[in-house]
């Protein structure tokens, strides 16, 4: 099968499912309303502006936290990774800390920080920090010593060393870390919104569920889905772009 029929075939399944649902679904169903009702609900939410506000709120938290986590994680990972003695010493502690699931940090953080505006960014940053930190740590440790010695032998400036040796070696791992961190950030952000009733899609989902508003729940779920797909696509494009610019870097 060549490309075109294949794409159409894979498109057919979700489309067919939605059509069947639309045709057979009961508009008044409390748990499985047909897709048109979702669109109607989404349109209503867009009209009042709540949907946009919620999406912005969630995305802002995710983006801000990812940025903080990215910078901090890369810096910490690189610094710790550069000194084998230190990275070795902190490894088991990090292993233990890593096995605590990030979503479970949320209630603890709520206790300590309260449910204000800082909560979201703090917790999500913390959750997003680990994948990036650990990836960068690992990548820094695996920079071949010969590469570092080369930099020293050629007596290149620190700036040049960073730009030409460290950054290319570490960048793929940063991206790999981001690919894990961003979906995680979305999850934790939504959870914070649900538990601490912070503004965002999570809170809207919760109130839609409490109001037994099934079309709204589906509409919001689809929104989350679109965001997820969009984020995935963006990260994948970034990954491909970096891979093209920096070929043959071992991951």
Minimum distance from residue 8 beta carbon to another protein (Å): 10
Q: In degrees rounded to 5, what are phi and psi of residue 242?
A: -65, -40
Q: Closest CB to another protein among 170 and 189? A: 189
* Separation in Å, CA 65 to CA 48, 111, 184, 192, 250: 28, 20, 11, 13, 28
Positions touching another protein (CB under 8 A) are 1, 6, 9-14, 17, 30-31, 85, 88-93, 96, 99-101, 103-108, 110-112, 183, 186-187, 190-191, 194-195, 201-202, 205-206, 208-209, 212, 214, 217-218, 220-221, 224-225, 228-229, 231-232
**73 in Cβ contact with 133 (< 8 Å):** yes
Q: Closest CB to another protein among 25 and 183? A: 183
Whose CA is closest to 106, among 173, 194, 170?
194
Q: Closest CB to another protein among 60 and 94? A: 94
Q: 1: which DSSP letter?
A: -
Minimum distance from residue 161 beta carbon to another protein (Å): 28
Q: Closest CB to another protein among 149 and 236? A: 236
Minimum distance from residue 208 beta carbon to another protein (Å): 7
**231 in Cβ contact with 181 (< 8 Å):** no
Minimum distance from residue 210 beta carbon to another protein (Å): 9
Q: Closest CB to another protein among 142 and 197? A: 197
Tokens encoding 46: 């867009």
**125 in Cβ contact with 65 (< 8 Å):** yes
Task: Count Cβ atoms within 10 A of the Cβ of residue 130 and give its class: 0-12 exposed, 13-18 middle, 19 or more buried.
Answer: buried
Q: Closest CB to another protein among 187 and 249? A: 187
**126 in Cβ contact with 105 (< 8 Å):** yes
Minimum distance from residue 212 beta carbon to another protein (Å): 7
Minimum distance from residue 213 beta carbon to another protein (Å): 9
């Amino acid at each position: 099968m060549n490309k075109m029929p294949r794409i159409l075939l894979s498109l057919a399944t979700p489309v067919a499912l939605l059509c069947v649902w639309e045709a057979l679904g009961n508009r008044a169903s409390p748990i499985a309303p047909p897709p048109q009702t979702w669109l109607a609900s989404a349109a209503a939410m867009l009209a009042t502006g709540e949907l946009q506000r919620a999406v912005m709120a969630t995305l802002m938290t995710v983006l801000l936290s990812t940025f903080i986590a990215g910078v901090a994680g890369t810096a910490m990972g690189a610094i710790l990774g550069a000194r084998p003695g230190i990275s070795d010493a902190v490894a088991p502690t990090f292993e233990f800390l890593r096995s605590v699931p990030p979503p479970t940090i949320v209630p603890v953080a709520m206790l300590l920080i309260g449910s204000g505006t800082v909560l979201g960014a703090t917790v999500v940053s913390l959750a997003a920090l680990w994948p990036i930190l650990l990836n960068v740590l690992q990548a820094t440790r695996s920079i071949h010593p010969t590469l570092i010695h080369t930099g020293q032998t050629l007596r290149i400036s620190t700036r040049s060393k960073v730009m030409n040796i460290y950054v290319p070696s570490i960048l793929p791992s940063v991206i790999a870390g981001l690919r894990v961190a961003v979906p995680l950030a979305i999850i934790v952000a939504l959870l914070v919104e649900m538990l601490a009733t912070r503004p965002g899609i999570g809170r809207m989902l919760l109130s839609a569920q409490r109001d037994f508003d099934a079309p709204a729940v589906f509409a919001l779920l689809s929104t989350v889905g679109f965001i997820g797909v969009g984020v995935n696509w963006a990260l994948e494009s970034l990954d491909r772009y970096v891979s093209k610019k920096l070929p043959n870097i071992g991951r």
